[in-house]
Amino acid sequence: QMRSIHERMMFKDAVYSIIPGGGDNLEAGVMLGYKQVEANFRKDYSNRVLFLSDGVISGAEEASGVFQIVEKFKKMYINLSTIGVGANYNLELMRGLADKGGGSSRFISSREEMEKTFGSDLDRTFVPTARNLSMKLEFLQDVEILGTWGYGNRIEGNTIHYFLDTLHHRDYETILAQIRIFPQSTIDLTQKNNLARFSLSYTDLNCKIHYPDPYYLKVNFVELESPVTGFSNGMVLQSGTMLHYAQALKKIGELYYTNQLQPALDLTLSIKKEIKNVKLRLENKGFDNEIEVLDKYIALLGKDLGLSDTELKKITIDEEISPSVQERPLMDRIKNLFREITLDLESKDEGSISILFFKTGEGKQSDLTVLLDKMALEEIKKLENMRVIDRERVNVILKEQGISSMDLIDVTNAIEIGKLLGVDYILTGSVVDSGKTVVIFGKIINVGTEEIESIAQVIVPKNSTVESLL
């Protein structure tokens, strides 16, 4: 109690005597947590230690001791989840502790993240839903497995086995598999084909083992003389881009330390263009930190290569991606865009969709956006599982709400209109002039979840025909 100047000064002196340095006594901290949980152990409850630390320790011997403690208490049905903080956060150690302790691992990078972790997402941190998940991804067509990232895994022929200790309430886990699909000689191109089968088993909280029916991943195989630019599920696009970024950083480092500076710079510029393109497709969400890191690499490599400030600025602001195929008529490119969009819509349950206009990057209309609107309506009306909302009804809603079609470039506005229309999905798109090329995006947005479920794009060289339509 601060009852006098003397006591206040004692308090200040105590605070000022605390200085940064050394590391955490992880072993003692973890044991203290386990003792508290053990003293209040309830078999029918979730018994868990939440371990908050930066994970900085004195050496490998101490880490070994902590891992032994964690594994011991896991066998006693007391799990451990880790929450990381600090600029020197030891990612490998804290994730390793959570993995051995049968829990999850989070990192708090900001006040907002802290409030979320200890607020709305607390159950995702320590409330288990399923344990001992044994999963199998089996490819049923002729493919080559190039790699997989995620949890403990083992590749055997055309099958990948995964193991996850615990899945928490409302949480989801991401596993990536990269494959090369060879030309399929026995595939029926008129229908969807089974590409892979995913099966799993897990133990519930009452120690009962479950074996759900397998899930089949169905895909459309198509024949094209040359590749298209690409369709992506929103979540796959984000996760896959982060994977490409991580792989590129590793390769850039290898090139740099073998004095291959120009290839290192070329790769850095290439991955930056890819990330900027994806950022645009995802409504400019995320990837700011990754772009900042790449810009620092560009500055470092440019300096080592002796580039002037003018040359460095020119290559830094260049964000244009070249089309995968230069020579292709504009209408063919647009048809490929809508083919990819309709292939995705075909895979969904029966529902309704509204086409909320294609716009330029400034939110305006042009002859090209009018053409895209018309073709979108024609192609999606062919789908048997989608009911298309009449454009007149869209215009009435826009007028009632005092919203112009130009305002629909904002996804939030588009979703609100979708809710008023009572549709399951909305399709909106953008035409972005990038200098020598034009990028056309088409986005499918789930009105219920407010998530961008998929994004298709085509990159078009800006020739006289395209110029006249802009």
Q: Token pair of 66, please? A: 């902590």
Tell me 215's DSSP state. E
pLDDT band at 363 (very low <50, low <70, confident <90, very high): low
pLDDT reading at 325 higher than 60: no
Q: Tell which residue, 425, 440, 330, 446, has the closest CA to residue 383.
A: 425
Under 8 Å CB-to-CB from 18, ≥6 apart: which residues? none
Q: How confident is the model at residue 262 (pLDDT cuts 50, 70, 90)?
A: very high
Are 63 and 57 a contacting pair, CB within 8 Å?
A: yes
CB 128 within 8 A of CB 80: no
For residues 302-311, give the mean pLDDT. Answer: 89
Tens of pLDDT along 51-70? 998 888 766 667 788 899 99
Please state, in angstroms and rounded to a whole number, the distance separating the CA atoms of residues 264 and 245.
13
The radius of gyration of the chain's CA atoms, rounded to the nearest angstrom, is: 27
What the block records as the tokens of 216 is 């089949």
Looking at every residue in the chain, the average pLDDT score rounds to 85
> Is residue 461 over pLDDT 60?
yes
Closest CA to 330 of 455, 230, 232, 437: 437
State percent of the chain over pLDDT 90.
28
pLDDT tens digits, residue range 134-178? Answer: 999 999 988 999 999 877 889 999 999 999 888 888 887 888 899
Beta bridge partner(s), residue 153: 162
pLDDT tens profile 389-431: 888 888 888 888 887 777 777 778 888 888 888 899 999 888 8
3-state helix, strand, coil in the chain (%, to 5): 40, 25, 35
State the pLDDT at residue 288. 87
Greater pLDDT, 102 or 195: 195
* pLDDT at residue 58, as a whole number: 64
- State the amino acid at position 403 in one-letter form: I
Kindly tell me if the per-residue pLDDT of 315 is higher than 60. Answer: yes
- pLDDT over threshold 80, residue 291: yes
Q: What is the largest CA-CA distance in the chain?
A: 88
pLDDT of 339: 84
Instruction: Tell whether the model's pLDDT for residue 210 goes beyond 60.
Output: yes
pLDDT for 175 equals 87
The conformation of residue 470, written as its DSSP 8-state character, comes to -
Of 129, 131, 136, 148, nearest to 214 by C-alpha is: 136
The answer to whether residue 91 scores a pLDDT higher than 70 is yes
230 Ramachandran zone, left/alpha/beta (phi>0; psi -120 to 50): left
Does this model's pTM top 0.85? My answer is: no
Asked whether residue 23 carries a pLDDT value surpassing 70, the answer given is no
| Residue 229 pLDDT class (50, 70, 90 cuts) | low
